[in-house]
């Protein structure tokens, strides 16, 4: 009997369009012999909708114009003490959906990748793909995750964290003295390079601070590391994770921006496997697994590093719901490691159900 997989996509974050691209790829590649897809979209205003499979996305060939179709039926979520269900709202009334066996959340960024959606799935008592509430929240907050990694002895990109209430204390001169130039300024809780700026002077500094604070009440000011961008994908349970081959992002622009990742195919190029020594590759793979376990990850994560000319390795960040677009590094790394895109999706769903079954031994739910 087929498992019913609820794919949740869209959301209110700045990465809405990326999520739609990821969802489209998953729907096209999922093993239809094993899984039946239930499409659940969240629009930019936060309204939940359920869709017929062929009518859920508009302008899907244009990453700038891609959007959720307005034709979806309203979806409500009912919380009761005896059971929690998704309810479909149609013109003829409310009908309860048949059971969803597992959720594949593919909402990148805030309210999807930061533990909020995962917490709701816990309340609904439904297995879901990817990291749990705590690890999702830890990895989303780049300040907290860096602190934990540093405490475990893993070098990270040097940085300073600033809260909104500390904004008046910021001094370009003091930042420059501590971190040098250029620097990068980014929201602490964002992904896909949203809200990030490269800064080389005081004028750019003020504008970058303004931009970063549009997306979060805490921002990071990071030292520029002159190095290659190396990425590694991790798959599996927290107890038994596996690391892929390493890949490299060759950037044609000043840095790996949102546009370079998802819009402009000329701005960057993936090199898989990365052209580094076997010794360095193994070290990065081992650090990826170590970071995955330190932060309590499960299911999947993509770990990003900087590699300097002196072969120093700095962990930049962990992404617990990396992109699944046709350009995304995570699936490409596993494809090069011998796992096809369709099989990767199946593996992630299987891991979600296995983790749920295992946790049932410990939780009184």
HSE-CB for 215 with a 13 A CA cutoff: 27
Residue 335 among the catalytic residues: no
The one-character DSSP state at 80 is -
Q: Is the peptide bond before 236 cis (omega within 30 degrees of 0)?
A: no
Distance of CA 9 to the CA centre of its chain: 12
Q: Are 220 and 185 in contact (CB under 8 A)?
A: yes
Q: Residue 303, annotated ligand binder? A: no
Question: Looking up tokens 């999706």, which residue turns up?
Answer: 345
C-alpha separations of 324 from 88, 104, 155, 258, 314 in Å: 27, 12, 28, 15, 25
Measured in residues, the chain has a length of: 365
Q: Residue 316, annotated ligand binder? A: yes
Closest CA to 192 of 114, 261, 144: 261
Q: Residue 337, annotated ligand binder? A: no
Catalytic site residue from 22, 145, 192, 268: 192
| Pair of tokens at residue 328 | 């995304």
Q: Residue 299, annotated ligand binder? A: no
Catalytic site residue from 13, 15, 244, 346: 15
Distance CA 59, CA 95 (A): 30
Q: Residue 271, annotated ligand binder? A: no
Q: Residue 226, annotated ligand binder? A: yes
Residue 257 among the catalytic residues: no
Distance CA 223, CA 272 (A): 27
Q: For the chain, how big is the Rg over CA atoms in Å?
A: 21
Q: Residue 6, annotated ligand binder? A: no
Catalytic site residue from 19, 281, 328, 346: 328
Q: Residue 319, annotated ligand binder? A: yes
Kindly state the greatest CA–CA separation across the chain.
67
Residue 346 among the catalytic residues: no
Q: Residue 116, annotated ligand binder? A: no
Q: Residue 224, annotated ligand binder? A: yes
Q: Residue 193, annotated ligand binder? A: yes
Q: Residue 192, annotated ligand binder? A: yes
Q: Residue 142, annotated ligand binder? A: yes
Annotated binding residues for ATP, written as ranges, equal 142, 184-186, 192-193, 222-229, 316-317
Annotated binding residues for Mg(2+), written as ranges, equal 304, 317, 319
Annotated binding residues, written as ranges, equal 142, 184-186, 192-193, 222-229, 304, 316-317, 319
Q: Which amino acids are annotated catalytic?
A: 15, 192, 328
């Amino acid at each position: 009997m087929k498992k019913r997989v609820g794919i949740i996509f869209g959301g209110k974050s700045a990465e809405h369009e990326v999520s739609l691209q990821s969802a489209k790829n998953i729907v096209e590649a999922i093993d239809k012999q094993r899984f039946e897809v239930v499409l659940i979209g969240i629009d930019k205003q936060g309204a939940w909708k359920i869709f017929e499979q062929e009518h859920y996305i508009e302008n899907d060939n244009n990453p700038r114009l891609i959007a959720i179709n307005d034709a979806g039926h309203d979806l409500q979520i009912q919380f009761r003490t005896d059971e929690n269900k998704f309810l479909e709202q149609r013109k003829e009334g409310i009908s309860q959906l048949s059971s969803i066996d597992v959720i594949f959340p593919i909402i990148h960024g805030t309210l999807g990748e930061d533990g909020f959606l995962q917490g709701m799935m816990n309340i609904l008592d439904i297995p879901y793909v990817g990291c749990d509430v705590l690890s999702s929240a830890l990895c989303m907050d780049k300040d907290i995750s860096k602190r934990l990694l540093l405490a475990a002895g893993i070098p990270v990109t040097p940085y300073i964290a600033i809260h909104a209430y500390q904004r008046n204390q910021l001094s370009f001169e003091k930042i420059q003295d501590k971190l040098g130039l250029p620097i990068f300024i980014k929201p602490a809780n964002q992904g896909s390079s949203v809200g990030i700026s490269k800064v080389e002077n005081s004028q750019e500094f003020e504008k970058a601070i303004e931009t970063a604070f549009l997306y979060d009440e805490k921002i990071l000011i990071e030292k520029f590391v002159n190095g290659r961008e190396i990425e590694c994908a991790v798959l599996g349970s927290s107890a038994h994770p596996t690391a892929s081959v390493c890949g490299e992002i060759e950037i044609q622009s000043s840095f790996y921006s949102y546009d370079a990742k998802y819009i402009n195919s000329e701005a960057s190029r993936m090199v898989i496997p990365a052209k580094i020594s076997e010794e360095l590759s193994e070290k990065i793979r081992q650090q990826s697994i170590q970071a995955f376990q330190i932060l309590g990850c499960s299911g999947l994560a993509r770990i990003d590093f900087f590699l300097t000319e002196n072969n120093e390795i700095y962990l930049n960040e962990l992404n617990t719901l990396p992109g699944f677009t046709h350009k995304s590094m995570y699936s490409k790394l596993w494809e090069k490691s011998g796992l096809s895109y369709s099989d990767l999706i199946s593996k992630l769903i299987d891991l979600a159900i296995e983790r749920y079954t295992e946790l049932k031994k410990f939780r009184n739910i």
